[in-house]
Every structure is written in structure tokens, then in C-alpha cells.
Structure 1
Amino acid sequence: MSTTIIDRPEAPVPERGPAVSAGPPRPTLAKRFRAEQLTAWAFIAPVVAYLAIFYAYPLYRNVDLSVRDYTVRSFIDGSAPFVGLANFVAVFQSPTFGPALTNTLLFTGVSILFQFSLGMALAVFFFQNFRLSSTLRALFLVPWLLPLIVSASTWSWMMNSDSGVINSVISSFGGGQVNWLTSPQWALTAVIIANIWIGIPFNLVILYSGLQNISTDIYEAAALDGANAWQKFWRITFPLLRPVSAITILLGLVYTLKVFDIIWIMTKGGPGDASTTFAIWSYQLGFGSTLPSFSPAAAVGNLLIVMALIFGFLYLRVQRKQAQ
């Protein structure tokens, strides 16, 4: 039996085109992660360098100054011996420590109290958007825009015992002469008044911006419920402004603790220690005599830093409680 084999035509073979290149190999996940890290560090490097140069290193040098016995000669030959906490002990035992601490707390506390209260009152007042509101609000910024040396010199002239404007006004109402800058009883009050005047615009601007973030619908609903102006402020404005108020008070505390220009120009910390704060005392120790005490001056400066840190931690604690 024979088998017939039928030849089938072969299928045409398709022509091959040019080889397609697979391209460069894709980076692995580890390489991509490393590249992202380098990019992040490149962006953060300027900030880190700025903080290291202008904050970390000066703070380290200030701490080093406070734990060594530095003199003018020590800065030249670098032979300042390590004395530990001896400079801090000397500061605490100094007769100036008590008055300086009291003046610092009074100057800071009274200034913040009146700056915040008056700033809040003015912010609520200007929030009514009456005619000339913008113009008057801009005029209130003048004390904040003036250089501190100009403001302090102006207040020194106004509070001059013999030819000052303030004493002239007091005498016109039958009052006696007040030695604002030369009396131990009035020197601290004089610099506090000047500092309050300078700090009100800052509180006004921050609190006014906070008021703009409060919806007017809340006030309209309160008005429909019969709330008066005081109830609106105490039940709506003040609670909703707490986050803004907290940061305003914190910044004011940190700034007021280190105020130097106003006090030095007006009273130089005198008479005696009547208006001496930690900032003034630190300057007097470091640069106020022919034989400067650099290390005790640095110790006083560190006390100011500790006080500012305490207020900062208190602010963070309050913020955490409000967030819970």
C-alpha cells in the first residue's frame, strides 16, 4: 500500500525589522531612594548651615565663655581655665542679681500685659471697618516702623524732668514735677511706658489678622440669639483667637526679655539698679568697664536664654493641650 506525500507550501517568513533598543537600564529602588535623599539634603543644607553658623556656634561659644575664666588676655593667648559653674555662683551671689531679676520680670510682665490688652482692643476696634479705619491703622504702625534709637530718644526728650512735654502737661493740670529718668521710683516705669508704646503695633497687626480668619456667620448667628458686644467678644472672639494670642504672647515674651536699646538709651539701667534688667546687666559686665568680666556676662546671657526656653516649653505644652 503506497502512501502519497503532498507537499504543502511553506509559510512566508516575516522580514525582521531593525532591532529595537531597550534603552538605558532603569535605576534600582535603592538608587532612586538615595537620589531623593541627596536632593532633600541639598534643599535643607542652606538652612542647616545657617542654623549652625548663626545659632549653634554662637550658643556653644556663649556656654564656653560662661564655664571658663576669660579675660582680655585670655582671648589673645587662649589660656582661659575651666571653672565650671563658678561664674553662675558669682552671678547668683551678686547684689545686682535680685534687682535685675525683679526688674526683668516686671518689665516683661507689665509690658506684655498692656501691649496685648491694648493691641487686642485696637484690633477689635479697627475690625469694625468704619471710614478712615485703614488710615488710622496705618498710623498706629509708625512706632513699630521707627528705629528703636529714634523712639527711645524721643521718649527721653518727652520725659525730661525740666523741659519734657509730659511734665509740662502734668504741671498744666496742677501736678508736680516727676523725675521720670533720674528717680529710682519712676525709672523702670518710664522705660516700661516706652516699651509698651513700641510693642502695641505688633500685637495689633497679628491679632487683626487673626480676626480676619473668623467667619462673620458666627457673629450673625450670635446676634440673632441676642448676644451683646461683650458676649460676642468673650464667647466668640477671644476663644477663637487663642492660637493667635498664644504665639503673639510668646513672641512678645522672647522679644521683651532681651530688650536693651530702649533701656540703655533712656536710663542706662539707672539710677543705680533701678531699671537694670538681665540684658543691661550682661552688657555692663562685658563692656561697661575698663576691666570687663566676659564670663559672668555670658552667664547672665545664658540665664536669659533659659528663661526664653522655659516660656517656649510652656507654649508648646499649652498648644498640645489645646490640640487634644
Structure 2
Amino acid sequence: MTIRTTQAPPPRTESRGAAPQPRRRPASPLWAAWAFLAPVTLYLGLFYAYPLYRNLDLSLRDYTVRSFVQGDAPFTGLANYRKILDDPTFAPALLHTAVFTAVCLVFQYAIGLALAVFFHQNFRLSATLRALFLVPWLLPLIVSASTWSWMLNSESGVVNTLLGALGVGPVNWLTSPSWSLTSVIIANIWIGVPFNLVVLHSGLQSIPAGLYEAAALDGAGAWQRFWRITFPLLRPVSAITLLLGLVYTLKVFDIIWIMTKGGPADSSTTFATWSYRLGFGNLLPAFGPGAAVGNLLVVAALVFGLIYVRVQRKQALS
């Protein structure tokens, strides 16, 4: 009887001339993070950082049409800023910008909040009516501004026609210095209300319904439930709504330019329209002062943004 024994095969030996293959190391998480951030960083650099740098450079140099093409504009420092501060248009433009922004924000938020509370009741046709209120927000600004220009026309406008039917004389909405700013404010409020409605309505949906039921059992009326529950719990949503509305309203240009072009006699001129008129509205454009006015708007928006961030941090810590 013979017993067969099996031997294990000899281990493979590498040839003397071949070098051992190095092991691949896994990719560093840092490189993966930079790969994901690269598109966003490139986008922000090309479309935000570089335009801001160019605008700052324009405001610090004496650019003309020739020097703008050849790139040999002399450096003037803050001369363009001193020029716009000494300009007689600066004070009216500052006042109009402040009034336009403040009035639009107050009425857009108040009307949007009232409509959001109204539609939060979820009655029949609530969704349909809420969708109809979004039409002004979805229309192009040039269409909205042109429609309001036709409605407020002194001779053939539908608004003056309705006023005439009520026994009120015609109002020169777009051609009177007393009414031009009011006209563009009304148009901008109409355009901005749907945005406030959508954001505030979404905030109302996040409030638990049990709070209202408990308050009703305790005898709280509708007005008390609004001030004690709805309004305090909507503060975070209200803050971001007002901030975004502020940034948008500061830079409103299309509506004012289409309806009044900042006139008559600069009665509806804001920083946005003034900056455009300085840079592109004259035969001899003033690129430097126009860029300086634009930078003032950027600084104003940045200041309010920092204030918002600081308030949010304090609320989070408290």
C-alpha cells in the first residue's frame, strides 16, 4: 500500500530584472474636496470676483472711451468718489433710493404676509388663487414695466380713466415730478408681493398646528394668535425675506428706466439709474463716476448683509 503525498507548488519568484510594483495609495480627501469646489470657485471668480475688481478699478481711474480700449487710464484715487459726492444729483438720488427701498419693503412684506395668512386657511380654490398671484413675479420685467407705463399714461391710461369715472381729474403719473417716484414704487410693490407671499407662506406651513389649537382652547382670538404665535415664529423667515428684498430693491433699474428714465428733472432718479446714465446714457460716458456710484450700492448691500449675519448669530446663541 503506497501513500501519495502532494507537495505545495513553490512560491513564484519575481525575475531579478523586474522591479516590484508599488501599491497605489488612495486619493486624498483634500483633493476630492477641491475637485468638487473647483466649478463653484471658478464660477464665483469669473462672474463675481472679477467684475467687482474691474468695477473697483474703473472707479479709481480716469477712464475715457479711448483709454477704456487701450487700457492706459491714469490712476486718480478717490477723485471719482469726491466728484459724485459734490454732484448736485447725489443728494436727491440718495433720498430717492432710501425712500424707494423703504416704502417698497414695507408694503411688499405687509401685503405678502397678509396674503400668506389668508391663503394658509386652505379654503376652496386657495391653490388656484395663490398661483394667479404669482403671475407678476413670472412675467419679464420689461413686460411688467411696459404694462404699468400704459396703465399710468396721462391721456390714455386705464388708471386715469377709472379716476375720471369717479369724478377725479387726470393725474400726470409719469410726467409730473410729484408723482413719478410714487408711480415706480407702486409698480415695484406689485412685482415684489408674490415673492414675499411664496416665502412667508412656506414659513407658515412649518408652524405646528397644535400651537393654534392650544391657543384657541385657552381663549386666544385670531389677532392674539397672530401676534403671539405666527409673527414671532416667522422671524427667521421674515429676516431672510426682508434681506433678499432689500438687496433686490437697491439694484432695481429696469422698472424705473422703462417707466420714467429717472425723470422728469431727476425726480425718480436712484443710484441704479444714475450709475447707468453716467456710464452709458451720455455721448461722453463717465465710466469712473458711474462705477463709483455702483460701488456705493455694493457697499450698502454688503453692510446690510453683515448686519443680518450678526443678528442671526445672536439669535442662534440665545
Normalised by the size of structure 1, how large is the TM-score? 0.91
What pairs up with 1:181-200 in 2 under 5 angstroms? 181-200=174-193
1:38 to 1:273, Cα distance in 2 relative to 1, 3 A: same
Cα deviation 1:50-99 (Å, max 9, x = unaligned): 00000000000000000000000101221100000000000101000000
In the alignment, the residues of structure 2 paired with residue 18 and residue 276 of structure 1 have an alpha-carbon distance, to the nearest angstrom, of: 92
The AA in structure 2 aligned to 1:187 is: S
Aligned partner of 1:58 in structure 2 is: 51
1:262 to 1:20, Cα distance in 2 relative to 1, 3 A: farther
1:94 aligned to 2:94? no
The AA in structure 2 aligned to 1:45 is: A
Indicate the SS of the match to 2:28: helix
2:238 counterpart (232, 239, 245): 245
The AA in structure 2 aligned to 1:243 is: P
Aligned partner of 1:4 in structure 2 is: none
2:198 counterpart (205, 214, 239): 205
1:20 to 1:206, Cα distance in 2 relative to 1, 3 A: farther
Cα deviation 1:159-194 (Å, max 9, x = unaligned): 011111111111211112111001111000000000
**What is the deviation of 1:214?**
0.9
Paired positions, count:
308
Aligned partner of 1:313 in structure 2 is: 306
The AA in structure 2 aligned to 1:208 is: H
In the alignment, the residues of structure 2 paired with residue 37 and residue 19 of structure 1 have an alpha-carbon distance, to the nearest angstrom, of: 40
Aligned partner of 1:153 in structure 2 is: 146
Indicate the SS of the match to 2:57: helix
Gaps of at least 5 residues in structure 1 are 1-12
1:255 aligned to 2:263? no
Aligned partner of 2:31 in structure 1 is: 38
1:114 counterpart (103, 107, 110): 107
The AA in structure 2 aligned to 1:104 is: T
Q: CA RMSD for the aligned pairs? A: 1.8
1:299 to 1:17, Cα distance in 2 relative to 1, 3 A: same
**What is the deviation of 1:215?**
0.9
The AA in structure 2 aligned to 1:112 is: L
Cα deviation 1:256-290 (Å, max 9, x = unaligned): 00000000000000001100000000000001110
1:212 to 1:17, Cα distance in 2 relative to 1, 3 A: farther
Q: Percent identity?
A: 70
Aligned partner of 2:16 in structure 1 is: none
Aligned partner of 1:131 in structure 2 is: 124
The AA in structure 2 aligned to 1:186 is: W
1:287 counterpart (280, 284, 288): 280
Aligned partner of 2:98 in structure 1 is: 105
Which of structure 1's runs of 4+ aligned residues deviate more than 3 A? 13-21, 23-27
Cα deviation 1:33-60 (Å, max 9, x = unaligned): x621111111110000000000000000
1:223 aligned to 2:223? no
Indicate the SS of the match to 1:136: helix
Indicate the SS of the match to 1:109: helix
Normalised by the size of structure 2, how large is the TM-score? 0.93
The AA in structure 2 aligned to 1:181 is: L
Indicate the SS of the match to 2:200: helix
In the alignment, the residues of structure 2 paired with residue 234 and residue 25 of structure 1 have an alpha-carbon distance, to the nearest angstrom, of: 70
In the alignment, the residues of structure 2 paired with residue 134 and residue 319 of structure 1 have an alpha-carbon distance, to the nearest angstrom, of: 32
Gaps of at least 5 residues in structure 2 are 14-19
In the alignment, the residues of structure 2 paired with residue 221 and residue 18 of structure 1 have an alpha-carbon distance, to the nearest angstrom, of: 82
Aligned partner of 1:165 in structure 2 is: 158
Cα deviation 1:143-163 (Å, max 9, x = unaligned): 001111111011011101111
1:212 to 1:20, Cα distance in 2 relative to 1, 3 A: farther
